[in-house]
Copies of this chain bind each other. A is one copy, B any other.
Amino acid sequence: MAIITLTTDLGITDSYLASVKGAIYSQLKEVKVIDISNHIDPFNIQQAAYILRNCFKDFPSGTIHLISVDDELAINKEHIAVKANNHYFIGADNGFFSLLFNDLKPEKIVKLNISLTTNCMTFAAKNIFAPAACHLARGGTMEIIGTPIDDFEVKKMELKAVLQKDMIRGSVIYVDHYGNAITNIKKDEFEKVQKGRSFTILFGREDEMITELSTKYKDVSTAEKLALFGENNQLQIAINKGQASKLLGLKLHEIIRIEFK
């Protein structure tokens, strides 16, 4: 049974999300529709890309990911379907895919040409993405629903950490609901610069510092701060059983520096 996931800013209080699910089940009964998140901040493609990038590989090969964030059709913001890493992605080409595929090479991209069965141009998730997803879930080819795009360019839009000989300078790119501040500093980058040296992680007014890495939150006492590379191999600053973001002032875009000596 095919799986269709939803990453949307549709919320869960209105009828919109239910309409999308109803439309999918009306077209294809034997399918599993799984919510990734329907709580993306309206129009926040960065957040949507971060969340989907961190979990899509946990789903089976062939899963179809429907993304409905800022998806109203516009000139230069076409609706596309993408195959990458043996998963399918359907959404608007509004910059989201460049964020999602930061280090992933799409295998195939088509511009959707599903004819609208409605005059309503404001609900692509239901009227365009759901039929496209059902088509792929039935085993249909991408060529049937779209025109191949050959010159799709993944723009490197993500703000990367700056690596120097004795220093890494990154920033907080996501705060999760535990208050963990996740940075754009990656494990392999860290190790390349570190070369086994000791280091100091600095942030805030730079009187906060961490000089070692933890492997789990409980490596430090309750309410103590720590740094670890999480499941996604990105450095996060956390507090064991506490809200690091609030308590350490680590909001989105805050700077994190690591000095090596």
Q: Contact residues of A with B, CB < 8 Å?
A: 1, 3, 5, 11-16, 18-23, 25-26, 29-30, 32, 34-39, 42-43, 50-52, 54-60, 63, 70, 72-74, 118-123, 126, 176-178, 215-218, 228, 230-231, 241
Contacts and interface: CB of A to CB of B under 8 A. Distances in A.
A230 B122 contact: yes
9 contacts: A18-B36, A18-B37, A19-B55, A21-B58, A29-B60, A119-B215, A122-B228, A122-B230, A122-B231
A118 B233 CA distance: 11
A52 B19 CA distance: 10
Contacts of A59: 22, 25-26
Contacts of A231: 19, 118, 120, 122-123, 126
State the oligomeric state as a number of copies.
3
B25 A60 contact: yes
A50 B122 CA distance: 19
B22 A55 contact: yes
A12 B39 contact: yes
Nearest to A43: B241
A54 to B, nearest CB: 4
A39 to B, nearest CB: 5
A58 B218 contact: no
A55 B122 contact: no
Given A5-B18, A55-B19, A215 B121 contact: yes
